[in-house]
Chains A and B, each alone.
Chain A
C-alpha cells in the first residue's frame, strides 16, 4: 500500500535561514504523482506543486524548490531565505489510485523573526 513519511514533526528556524522538509514515499505503482500542500493557521490546504513519477527534474519557484529522487523515493522541499509568512504545516501527498491521495503526517514549520 502507498505510504508517505514526513519524519520531521516540527522544525524551527530563524528568519532568512534555508530549511528543507523531507518526504519519503512508498508505492508499487509505476505511474504516480506527488504533491506538496501548505496549511497555514487558517486551516486551508494550499496547493504548492504536483510532480509525476516520470519527471525527475528539480523545480524552482521563487524561494521554493523541490528535489525529486526516485532512487531514494524522496521528494524534498526547500525554502530559501525563509520568512515568517512561511510558518505553517506542510504536507507531502502521494496518489493512491484514481482520485485518492495519501498524506504524510505533516511537518510544522516555525520561522522566528
Chain B
C-alpha cells in the first residue's frame, strides 16, 4: 500500500452505535489530520496530531474521539452520532517535523459515513 489509506470506505450506523474509522499513512510523515466534508460546506479541520500528540481540536463535539497510537495510524472513534454528522471524513498526513505552514498535506480516499 502506498500513500494514505482509510477504512472502511463506507459506513452506515445508527445513532446508538459505536464505530471507529481508521487511517494509515505509508509516507513516513509525522503529522496527521482529520477533516469533515459535508455537502455544500467547505472542508472542516477537526483534529491535528503531530508526533502522536494532539495539537489542534477544532471545537469538535465529544462524540468524536481521535486516537493516534503511532505516527502511522490515526483513528476516529464515533459514538452516539447525530444524522447531521453524516459526511465524508478525510484523513491527511504531512511531514510535520518543521511544523511549518509550507507543508503539503496528502489525503486518503475518505470514509463516507451515513448516520440513521
Chain A residues within 8 Å of B57, by CB: none
Cβ of B11 to closest chain A Cβ, rounded Å:
13
Q: Contact: A99 with B56, CB < 8 Å?
A: yes
Question: A-contacting residues of B (Cβ < 8 Å)?
Answer: 31, 33, 40-43, 45, 48, 50, 55-56, 88, 90, 92, 94, 96, 99-110, 112
User: Could you give, for residues 38-73 of chain A, a 1 whenever the CB lies within 8 Å of some chain B CB and a 0 otherwise?
Assistant: 000011111100101000000000000000000000
| Interface range on chain A (Cβ under 8 Å from partner) | 20 to 34
Q: Contact: B43 with A99, CB < 8 Å?
A: no
Q: Contact: B107 with A99, CB < 8 Å?
A: no
Q: Contact: A101 with B105, CB < 8 Å?
A: yes
Given contacts A43-B110, A44-B109, A104-B42, contact A99 B50 (CB under 8 A): yes
Question: B-contacting residues of A (Cβ < 8 Å)?
Answer: 31-33, 35, 37, 42-47, 50, 52, 91, 95-106
Chain A residues within 8 Å of B31, by CB: 99
Given contacts A44-B108, A47-B106, contact A100 B43 (CB under 8 A): no
